[in-house]
Structure 1
Amino acid sequence: MSLHRALTGRVVIATHNAGKLREMQELLAPFGIEAVSAGALGLPVPDETGHMFAENAAIKAHAAAKATGLPALSDDSGLCVDALDGAPGLFTADWAGPNKDFYAAMERVMRELEKREAPDRRAHFVSALVIAWPDGHEELFEGRVFGQVVWPPRGDKGFGYDPMFQPDGFAETFGEISSDEKHGIDWSKPQPSGLSHRARAFVKLAAGCLHRV
């Protein structure tokens, strides 16, 4: 018997990020889940006061579930660069500033590496997915993908830091990889997997809480 709670019907995606919303809708599509964003519902962005990705994801999910009376799914994710002691990490979005200028954020990553004279370009993306229900029940799933940061950025696909992140085993960055290749999941396999951190977390979520239609 599963120890997880099934997610069905309508769910709020607790984000105001159009790129993140698009990825979540694509991942949820095979499961017949109707997804609406917190942004579309006019919900405020809660203060992310956690010290871990999972904590911030939970803050956003519970706020949306409480405000709407619907289950809410939140992702908190970030780029962690080894030579920068894991930065930008929890401050991945903050480095882009109020105007969400991610090219400037990518430039900052490289400036910080150059200031440290760090030849190490190893990095990884983390995704923490939290589903929260209005009664306070919560489910957490995490995924990671490892690779390196490159300069200059390459490609115009994806969003955020994607153009500067090259996953292990690929010559292309996330900015050059198609949406299907980045987080597409072959559900016909006994143990389905995806490339991106969000896809890897979602595979775990689907195994616990979703049923294909």
Structure 2
Amino acid sequence: MNKLVIASNNQGKLREIQALLTLLNIEVLPQASLNISEADEPHFTFIENALAKARHASLHSGLAALADDSGLCVEGLQGRPGVYSARFADMINPDGCAETNADKINRDEKNNLALLSALAGQSNRSAYYYCALVLVRRHDDPQPIIAEGIWSGEILTAPRGSNGFGYDPLFLDLSHHKTGAELSPDIKNKISHRGQALQQLMIKIKALKV
């Protein structure tokens, strides 16, 4: 396998995945470069959604495909936002106006504000990022390669840092005492949920010689 479609249009995820997969001399193609639409994510689990996205990208490209489904799980919110992390603000305010291009740019900020609002007065701010990576060699692959990663921390009351994306400005890594947005990309890629899952995936790819 020397070419792989990434079933994501999230630029932050694409950067992190490309940074590691290039080490395996695998050419990485974002699905948007092949005019592949985003797949539906109707499931309640990260793995099911990742599998649906990987199969969709492989079906429409004829290539092997890798999908990531990941999110933030907060203990004080009974695991929310979870699989709805990318659209948490819409869940909090489902009657909001239709999203414009400007809104899409500010989606991370809106989700962070929604998270802070949901946690107002909550003493338990423990949380973890979870990542499920699913690789299919063809769209009907009967044995998808699955890798997982968990990054534990807690949610701050105000954002810090300018790196990263998503909830990174609010997510405090307890071992470095920095938020995901304060960590350098190199450090984050080593310790994050996605970094852990990618390292696990690379081991499985090498072992299976796919």
Normalised-by-shorter TM-score class:
0.7 to 0.9
Task: State the Cα distance separating 1:133 from its structure 2 match.
Answer: 2.0
Does the aligned pair in 1 maintain the 2:50–2:67 contact within 8 Å?
A: yes
SS in 2 for 1:142: strand
Does the CA-based 8 Å contact 2:76-2:119 persist in structure 1? yes
DSSP 3-state at the match of 2:150:
strand
The alpha carbon displacement at 1:107 in A equals 1.0
Q: Structure 1 stretches of 5 or more lacking a match?
A: 1-7, 184-193
1:156 Cα deviation after fit: 1.0
Question: Is 1:62–1:133's contact at 8 Å kept on the other side of the alignment?
Answer: no
Counterpart in 1 of 2:31? 38
2:197 matched to which residue of 1?
201
2-side partners of 1:203 and 1:96: how far apart? Answer: 31
Q: Larger % of helix: which?
A: 2
5 Å matches for 1:41-80? 41-80=34-73
| Offset of residue 168 of structure 1 | 2.2
Partner of 1:4: none
Q: TM-score of the superposition, structure 2-length normalised?
A: 0.88
- Figure out how many residues of one structure are paired with residues of the other and give that number: 193
Map of 1:13-162 to 2, 5 A cutoff?
Answer: 13-97=6-90, 98=99, 99-100=103-104, 101-114=107-120, 117-134=121-138, 136-137=140-141, 138-162=144-168
Which aligned segments of 4 or more residues in structure 1 are displaced greater than 2 angstroms? 96-100
Partner SS state of residue 93, structure 1? helix
Unaligned runs of 5+ in 2: 91-98
- Give 1:135 shift: 5.1
Q: Contact 1:96–1:102 at 8 Å: present in 2 too? A: no
Deviation at 1:147, TM superposition (A): 0.3
Query: Could you tell me whether the CA contact under 8 Å between 2:56 and 2:139 is conserved in 1?
Result: no
User: Please, what is the CA RMSD of the aligned residues?
Assistant: 1.5
TM-score normalised to structure 1 length: 0.87
